[in-house]
Structure 1
Amino acid sequence: MKNPNDSFIRGRIRSLKFAFKGAWLLLTTEDSIKVQFFVAIIATILGFYFQISNVEWMIQFLAIGVVLVAESLNTAVEKIADFVHPDFHVKIGFIKDIAAGAPTFAAIISLIIACIIYIPKFNLLF
């Protein structure tokens, strides 16, 4: 909630506090985010192990970020839908299924990016 007595800087700091609280809530309560975050850590470890290039790091972190953002927005849509209509409803189910498609697309593209980055590096090992 915006406090009318806050200065511009104080308002931004307050917004950051809420943003970090939201990220923490996602990481500590949502299984899908936990899984995606774990995969992101594995990808980061692989990046150090294979010494990927700066461009590969940028693309990898962009892909990780897109997946986490999509998963977060999907969670928000699901929570709102459940709040608005807690009982089963065909239209709410349709909305939630569509929202679930976003992180699915992001994860598939991230997997393709990971293959492009890491398959050549695994081939060098063998």
Structure 2
Amino acid sequence: MRRLIKSFGYAFKGITWAFKTQPNFKFHCAAAALVLLAGYGLKLSSSEWIWIATAIGMVLSAELLNTAIEVLVDLVSPQYNIKAGQVKDLAAAAVLLVALIAATIGLIIFIPKLLPYVA
């Protein structure tokens, strides 16, 4: 049990480090907070909340994995290396793809709810 608790501590340490040092992670957290506030204000249904939570979780997880890959690449290849750059670019592309999917989910959910306020 002690080992399990310790592993959660390491995970929270990683999240805290990412939030303190990674501007993109901060941006995604701020965007998530805005989406959560909008969802609360627009009274999303349970199924809509499931999609929003999944999208937020995917984006934050992808950003954390991207950061981990970047840190590891910097460790094993401190000098410029074309392959190291490609690995970092691919990890960043994965975050972009997940973020675009999340934005699409958000648009599908929020546009119909916001249209009455625009018209």
Q: For residues 93 and 23 of structure 1, what CA distance do their matches in structure 2 show? A: 24
Q: TM-score, normalised by structure 1?
A: 0.91
Partner-residue secondary structure (3-state), 1:51: coil
Once the two structures are TM-superposed, the CA of residue 56 in structure 1 deviates from its matched residue by: 0.5
Q: TM-score, normalised by structure 2?
A: 0.97
Describe how 1:1-126 pairs up with structure 2 within 5 A. Answer: 9-125=1-117, 126=119
- What is the letter of the counterpart of residue 112 of structure 1? T
Q: For residues 90 and 17 of structure 1, what CA distance do their matches in structure 2 show? A: 35
Give the number of equivalent residue pairs: 118
- What is the letter of the counterpart of residue 73 of structure 1? L
Moved over 2 A (4+): none
Cα deviation code 1:28-49 (max 9, x no counterpart): 1111100000000000000011
- Point out where structure 1 has 5 or more consecutive residues left out of the alignment: 1-8
Structure 1 or 2, whichever has the larger Rg, is 1
Q: Provide the aligned C-alpha RMSD in A.
A: 0.7
